[in-house]
Structure 1
């Protein structure tokens, strides 16, 4: 497959415009697609933002829209109508669907029919990183900063299990860098994000030659091109095509976990892969996945394709904090839209309820609270397991009790006092449970099953 077969490309000398998602704070960060036959740029919505790790906007002319057709498809259909006598040979160069076809497979679940499927039957190219590059990155954890941080926090045994579960790679882009591999439900390596973390678990930042503040974040394909050009070696054809057309984070991070997970186990979705890894160690009741960026959770054609592998599971969203609450509002709106399409989705408001203004402005996420704040109790998450069932609801704090019966002090150490909820109370009643003296705060749950 030659890169020249694609009519719409990102030129080497970028044509800049304002990114639709970045807003006025970051100007001219969008590289626009151009029509290689005319040299003219496409409509301004088609382009890729330079701020891949912070914004992630990428609207390809080959991505299907709400009509089920991409920009390229619509141009091709118009051309066919205007040229009804064109031969198949004449039509072929116009049709991007002819390349790298993959047969769609239905989700193997009995409940998939409840989710509204895409109206499009058009197959689109799938761009992947070769398996040998993925395999070369695995291991080498003695020079992987993320592996070191996980060992410090959880010990070698748990750290090794997490590294293998999420198939974390090691990159030579920067000493100590790791690779978050985005592997789809078919095992294809759709992309690899490179990150270098500091001892504080945050991405390392630096200033480039122009004095611009940057983060040590990259992608495997970008690092490969950089290395080949530095060595004055030719760039492989597949890599040129991937750079031009592949989407960033085209699938959820952590999908291989679904292979061995029970069908009833719920999914939790966060923004960053690091957060998914940390949370999976603290709260194994969920299958923790990451979407890659705030804007990647959506209900357009690409967004729905990301979520289809988990369409039959209950989903809880954990958005990052934002200064104005827009991140929570956005994911709440997306959850409502997904509900209309048959998904069962809730949004956790734990961070919104507990965060300070300073934490909101800093844009902290669940991982930051786990690492820097008091340990989060499972009662702070919107679920409770009772009689083998997962129940979702609201956590209600109550004031502590200063007095308790004196006879409680006479109980043996082998029989600590436990308040057991009445078996006659309905699930939607307020239930109190406690495994310590009532001089401590008792969490109350207002329970309601998630239907």
Structure 2
């Protein structure tokens, strides 16, 4: 079968490009249109380092993320049907969330927060983000995804080490979803940002986006000038539908180490939607070799900083370019 959209055939070394995810040169293959009427953005393609990188952004995903490209959908009839027939997402019962907002004395992540920030601050933070305790694994945490209409899209259950605050990954990765455990037939999941419900409460402050839910919570303690939300992973919910809720807001992306190139792509997509966005390079400029190997994120840096009230000033001292970001978004140090 001949496909209209396919990976570019090898011709010369110039037909292989730098991967937008891992940064390796001459390893990335872009998708092309055999009819030569569509020229995909440079990030639509596949990295040949399948085991070490695995980046693969297909034309199908591009059309899903960019539904305004309707004039080309006739060549993708199956996809066209999927996109045009908008399916309303399902929601979980509020009672499930309410029931989880207790037993923090057995919640490993809460115990870690308590050791770093005290019981009072930790309780306020868990209530602010509506983070609960799950009983799927002893000590596990549930991060509820609540949209701006206070509807519960799902809950992500994860297990952390109470001493280090790191995820428990042995003997297996401890992560699952509430909607999956409930075994609701044909559940229509449409993820939203973790912390999205906070956007309706604060309509003026700039928004900071990170990957990890835990990181968003920690960063909100140190740098409250932003509304901190999380995608739930490098890919997570950072698609066009969710980007649209960021319109008319100022946004700063804080990618984890090693993910900056990929998030640069996402920032370009945001800019195309008219969103004022900046990608922070603080981690890349300040991380040591050991920190890079350990995969530090902004929360790891913040926790190691001295006292909370002066963290922003310390960051500026280490990276004067941060002043530009502060001035651009009219932030005030606290």
TM-score normalised to the size of structure 2?
Answer: 0.71
Match status 1:25 vs 2:28: no
Distance of 1:445 and 1:24 partners within structure 2:
39
Distance of 2:207 and 2:201 partners within structure 1:
13
> Match of 1:140?
103
* Structure 1 stretches lacking a partner, 5+ long: 1-19, 31-43, 47-58, 78-94, 97-119, 208-213, 226-238, 385-393, 398-443
Distance of 1:157 and 1:366 partners within structure 2:
23
> Match of 1:203?
167
* Aligned with 2:320 (options 364, 385, 396): 396
Match status 1:150 vs 2:91: no
> Match of 1:389?
none
* Paired residues, number: 276
1:127 deviates by 2.4
1:318 deviates by 0.4
Output aligned runs, 1:222-261, within 5 Å. Answer: 222-225=180-183, 239-242=184-187, 245-247=188-190, 250-261=191-202
Match status 1:123 vs 2:86: yes
Residues 209-252 of structure 1 show CA distances to partners (whole Å, capped at 9, x for unaligned) of xxxxx221111123334xxxxxxxxxxxxx1212xx525xx111
Output aligned runs, 1:45-444, within 5 Å. Answer: 66=67, 67=69, 74-75=77-78, 123-198=86-161, 199-207=163-171, 214-225=172-183, 239-242=184-187, 245-247=188-190, 250-261=191-202, 263-296=203-236, 298=238, 303-322=239-258, 327-372=259-304, 377-379=311-313, 395-396=319-320
Distance of 1:290 and 1:396 partners within structure 2:
26
8 Å contact kept, 1:297–1:334:
no
Per the alignment, do residues 76 and 319 of structure 1 end up closer, same or farther by CA in structure 2, a change over 3 Å counting? closer
Distance of 1:180 and 1:285 partners within structure 2:
22
Distance of 1:447 and 1:186 partners within structure 2:
30
Distance of 1:396 and 1:64 partners within structure 2:
35
Distance of 1:288 and 1:22 partners within structure 2:
34
Determine which structure has the larger helix proportion and give its number.
2
Secondary structure (helix, strand or coil) at the match of 1:190 reads strand
8 Å contact kept, 1:297–1:331:
no
Per the alignment, do residues 335 and 136 of structure 1 end up closer, same or farther by CA in structure 2, a change over 3 Å counting? same
1:143 deviates by 1.5
Question: RMSD in angstroms over aligned alpha carbons?
Answer: 3.6
> Match of 1:450?
328
Distance of 1:186 and 1:139 partners within structure 2:
23
8 Å contact kept, 2:92–2:153:
yes
Secondary structure (helix, strand or coil) at the match of 1:336 reads helix
TM-score normalised to the size of structure 1?
Answer: 0.54
8 Å contact kept, 1:145–1:196:
yes
Distance of 2:218 and 2:174 partners within structure 1:
20
* Structure 2 stretches lacking a partner, 5+ long: 1-45, 330-334
Residues 11-33 of structure 1 show CA distances to partners (whole Å, capped at 9, x for unaligned) of xxxxxxxxx789521799x9xxx
Distance of 1:258 and 1:188 partners within structure 2:
14
8 Å contact kept, 2:146–2:195:
yes
Which of 1 and 2 has greater Rg? 1
Per the alignment, do residues 350 and 76 of structure 1 end up closer, same or farther by CA in structure 2, a change over 3 Å counting? closer
Distance of 2:103 and 2:48 partners within structure 1:
36
